[in-house]
Amino acid sequence: MVAKIKMKQLFPLLAMPVLAALYSYSTVARAETAEAGAVQISRGKYLVQFGGCTDCHTPGYRFGKPDSTRFLGGSDVGMRVSGLGTFVPPNLTPDKETGLGAWTKEQIITAIQTGVTPSGRVLAPVMPWHAYAGLTKSDAGAIVDYLKTLPPVNNQVPGPFGPVEKPPIYTITLMPPANTTQHN
Ligand code: HEC
């Protein structure tokens, strides 16, 4: 009984340093996680710049005036692939309706590296996923972590259009030599 009372009285004294240590450990751990997250995001930003994503995915870029207020918000120019169709680079911002907001990190990595979207459609090779297939998993993850920090832009790109459809927007087309019949 005596021992019990003593333990009861001692408990707060014993517990305090333990709780304090746990608290400071978790604060340090949290700070380290936040720092790792910031490093990962700046690596993603660097890779997105170097990977040229904006050349295709930012409106205005193909007209020489990239719209920085809608950075990676989806192009206004379709890319025509002979025999396959016309594909408009979609919105990569975290907008839930028109961008990648409803996709998981893993789904975005899969699209970037294998071309397969959550619906099962394989992206046209004008999206250079063959080139991005060689990214390390960590770099592909960093790209997605960065994309998730972008301000959401509400912009649904049209398409994709089939090979004989006539898209109602500007398109980039590879023209055959003048003396050849044009392919669809
Ligand atoms: C040369 C142009 C081009 C470049 C560069 C490019 N993309 Fe794309 N991307 C496209 C096109 C076109 C599509 C749509 C293809 C389709 O619909 O079949 C696309 C589709 C995507 C998709 C699928 C989105 C969806 O809603 O279906 C993701 C994700 C993506 N690109 C991410 C990236 C990232 C990240 C980069 C840079 C590392 C990048 N792209 C660089 C042209 C490009």
103: pLDDT strictly greater than 60: yes
Q: Answer yes or no: is pLDDT of 102 > 70.
A: yes
Tokens of 181: 């019949």
Residue among 52, 53, 57, 87 at smallest CA distance from 70: 57
Average pLDDT over residues 75-99: 97
Residue 106, pLDDT score: 98
| DSSP conformational letter for 126 | T
Q: Is 56 part of a structural domain of the chain?
A: yes
Q: What is the CA(39)–ligand 1 centre distance, in A?
A: 24
Residue 2 covered by a domain: yes
pLDDT above 80 for 113: yes
Question: Which residue among 57, 76, 87, 132 is best mutated to probe the pocket of ligand 1, counting the most ligand atoms within 8 A of its Cβ?
Answer: 57
At 8 the pLDDT is 60
Please indicate, yes or no, if residue 50 is contained in any of the structural domains.
yes
Nearest residue (by CA) to ligand 1, atom 31, is 127
Asked if the structure places residue 24 within a domain, the reply is yes
pLDDT (tens digit per residue) in 18-69: 556 656 666 777 777 787 799 999 999 999 999 999 999 999 999 999 999 9
Predicted pLDDT of residue 18: 56
Q: Does residue 184 form part of some domain?
A: no
Pick the atom of ligand 1 nearest to 108's CA: 29
Determine the Cα angle at 129 with ends 57 and 39, to 5°.
70
Is residue 182 a part of any domain in this protein? no
Range of the domain at 163: 1-176
Residue-wise DSSP of 19-71: HHHHHHHHHHHHHHHHHHHHHHHHHHHHHHHHTTHHHHHSTTGGGT---GGGT
How many domains would you assign to the chain?
1
- Domain assignment present for residue 47? The answer is yes
CA of 21 to the centre of ligand 1 (A): 48
At residue 17, the pLDDT reads 62
